Amino acid sequence: ICVTYSLEKYSRSYPTSSSSNSQNPAIDAEWQHFVHPVINLYLDAKKSSAGDLVSARFRVVWNFDSNANSLGVDQREIILEDLDLLSFSSISNSRTNSGQPDHGLPLRAVYRDAVVGIRYLHSRTADSTSQPVYRRIQITFTTATSTARFIDAVRPVCPCRLNLQPQPPVPRIPTVATTGLLDDISRRGTLLPSVSQARPPMGETPLRPVSTALLSGNPSSESNVPTFAPSTLISTFVTPPETPRMTIPKSSQCQAPPGSISSTKGSLPDSSQPSSSTRSTSSNTMPSPPLPSSVTRSLQSESQPLEGRNPTRTQLVASLHDTPALHKLSHAELESIVAQVIREEGFVQLLASLDTMWRVKGLLGQ
């Protein structure tokens, strides 16, 4: 029975007697690789009439000028390997019976996926004092199925072993504590949990607990220090200083005159008035942002005494007689006039009067 297998690659290593005497002959010997054009493996097994295996011939042939239309004329074949696998069984028996030292099996194979590696004893006729020489070949099949078929065929005459996939290395946990610290922990078995500094709440924002840090001379190494320590080293743990709160002196706090506050409450809706808790918190934490120039001018004008408003009102009416074209006023002047008019207590009555005037004008126009 002859079975043919197509190979993708064939490699061999033939060490000499000098390289076999070295400590690692598999590395010292050079490898030869054959890839193309066509490489075939022929496995020819012959059995006797009784069904016993007589021979198992293993050949690797390198074909040149081989294609689909070839008629077999002028083809060149190079035999890369020609072995009788069954003959190694008799060598093993003779070496065992003669009492020679065992240097390993004369024939063995390992396989994984589509690759098969074979090692066989080459110096078969060497005496007892010589070092045995092993040759190695590596065969790459086209598919893993072909590899499985080949292994099943040669297993009766060649010990085969599956070469498992190497396991990835287990990541090691870095050691951040000293030996004395770990020994003390193992003896006492006490751990110091993370300590959080109690702080008063600020509004509704939750605060993250502050973990303790081991006191060290190098500030950059604080991130590598664990959050546990034995009971004897509790004194070396310190809490970070509490973040100082900003306090503003009363002289720099923004305060408005009583007159402006009372007039503002009357002009703003209830939803815009700040609560008492909000006002007390804001006065103790951060200063209010600066007000716009127009609002500042309006507050200053409202904070003036009531007896000082009559001259201003007279000046406003006089200015309207002098300059009746309001659209020619500058933006700042018009903004100041509108701000004063809006904050007058009779502004609602003014709107009602204007509404009545526009209605009368509309009726007259019709």
Q: Give the pLDDT confidence of 197-250 residue by residue, as tens digits.
A: 445 455 444 444 444 444 444 444 444 444 444 444 444 444 445 555 554 444
Pairing of strands 160-162, 107-112: parallel
The counts of H helices and E strands in the chain are 11, 11
Q: Give the pLDDT confidence of 262-319 residue by residue, as tens digits.
A: 444 444 444 444 444 444 444 444 555 555 554 455 455 555 544 444 566 676 666 6
Domains of the chain with CATH codes: 2-162 (2.30.29), 291-366 (no CATH)
Mean pLDDT is lowest, of 16-20, 96-100, 118-122, for: 96-100
Mean pLDDT is lowest, of 91-105, 129-143, 147-161, for: 91-105
Cα–Cα dist 90/88, whole Å: 5
pLDDT band at residue 71, thresholds of 50, 70 and 90?
Answer: low
Q: How far is CA 69 from each of CA 65, 66, 73, 75, 76, rounded to the nearest angstrom?
A: 10, 8, 11, 12, 15
Cα–Cα dist 264/278, whole Å: 17
Contact in structure between 123 and 134 (CB atoms under 8 Å): no
What percent of the chain stands above pLDDT 90?
16
Cα–Cα dist 230/237, whole Å: 11
117: pLDDT strictly greater than 90: yes
Contact in structure between 58 and 43 (CB atoms under 8 Å): yes
**What does the mean pLDDT of the chain come to?**
66
Residue position matching structure tokens 């870095």: 174
pLDDT average, residue stretch 65-78: 60
